[in-house]
Structure 1
Amino acid sequence: MRRLGTAAAALVLAGAGLAGTAQAAGAATGPVGKAAAPMVCSTVWGSGDKSATDSDGQPLKNIKTSRSACYDRMVFDISGAKGKLGYHVGYVDKFHQDGSGELIPVNGRAILQIYVSAPSYDGATGKQTYAGRAGKPLPGVNLTGYKTFKDTKFGASFEGQTQVGLGLRAKLPFRVLQSGDQLIVDVAHSW
């Protein structure tokens, strides 16, 4: 029985490591019949702009979202990317489409503007690789039940980068990470 408990704890920790926080695993484990310790979520990420200038140049394939106990997550899938991915993520008062400057309304009390150095089309053929349309919600993304994410809007794919507006419940700490060919933006549920 002890081996089964150890194996289960290892799986929980491995999953939490993939989700980016070991604290989440602590809340899920605990002696049988006892309440788990209160979860402690990190808020050390800050809310200042974050960016990286490297770029692989591969096209964007998909954008997905998910939830965890401590944060909401947006994942940009840039299949085939082999190096560092370029990005710029920061809070804006209003979301304006890159290129045209047209105002795009985004619901929420705060707007996180995300630029990913990956076009939504194949540079060689011009064929669209991601079905985002300017001013429209991100295709296939449903934010029902999310704690922090309130709205998404596709801005543009202009000069080799894709722009997304992410409406949030409030201006909260966020982080940007790369995992293989995915760029990940996590926004904390609280300070």
Structure 2
Amino acid sequence: MKKVSAWLTGIIMALGLGLLVPGTASAASYCGLAWGSLAKSNQAMSAASVANVRSGKYYCFDRLVIDIRGKATGYNVRYVSKVVQDGSGLPIKLRGGAFLQVTAHSPSYDSATGKATFVPANRSEVTNVSTYKTFRQVAWAGSFEGHTTLGLGVRARLPFKVFTLAGPGNGSRLVIDVAHQW
């Protein structure tokens, strides 16, 4: 009992003398994510073609994946006031409070034969994101002169990151993660 009261007395005295001070409050990022909302790009080009587009839901973010037949290299992902079709420049209608224009520097056709390597079943709903927290719509904007573009409608202008992953096999993936909140 004497030890407890001695410790308590010591702590109270230290607080009174200013030797112990409470820590300052700091705003921690959501789920530990330290992403931003500025454009992200890698200007490298690749003849490797787009094979598929898919999406996934995670605890802290929604994910869009573009599968590439070969090495994924270049991309340009940025918030825009409107997403436009490759070649024509016509606007794409998208649901959401903000729009990401996602451009893979890879064609969705075989550059030697011109044969399509990926054609979405539904250009307006490339992948079903109806139950996602952040994604509102993924729409096809086309493939032109070695670039493939998608419009990604999101709930709001939220932080995102972009990266490439090797595999499976000789393929690779262009990955876009958009956080559920700041």
For normalisation by structure 2, the TM-score amounts to 0.77
Q: Please point out which of 90, 96, 99 is paired with 2:78.
A: 90
Give the whole-Å Cα distance in 2 for the aligned partners of 1:146 and 1:163.
21
Q: What are the within-5 Å matches in structure 2 for residues 141-156 of structure 1?
A: 141-156=127-142
Q: CA deviation at 1:132?
A: 3.1
Q: CA deviation at 1:79?
A: 2.2
- Runs ≥4 residues deviating over 4 A: none
Instruction: Please give the per-residue CA displacement for 1:144-173, whole angstroms capped at 9, x wherever unaligned.
Output: 210000011100101101010000011000
Q: What are the within-5 Å matches in structure 2 for residues 110-125 of structure 1?
A: 110-125=98-113
For normalisation by structure 1, the TM-score amounts to 0.74
Q: What are the within-5 Å matches in structure 2 for residues 1-191 of structure 1?
A: 41-81=31-71, 85-132=73-120, 136-138=124-126, 141-180=127-166, 181-191=172-182
Segments of structure 1 that go 5 or more residues without pairing to the other structure are 1-39
Segments of structure 2 that go 5 or more residues without pairing to the other structure are 1-29, 167-171
Larger Rg: 2
Q: Which has the higher strand share?
A: 2
**1:134–1:54 Cα change, 3 Å:** farther
Q: Is the 8 A contact 1:133 1:156 kept in 2?
A: no
Q: Is the 8 A contact 1:149 1:166 kept in 2?
A: yes
**1:98–1:133 Cα change, 3 Å:** farther
Superposition CA RMSD, Å: 1.8
Q: Is the 8 A contact 1:86 1:117 kept in 2?
A: yes
Identity %: 43
User: Aligned residues, how many?
Assistant: 149
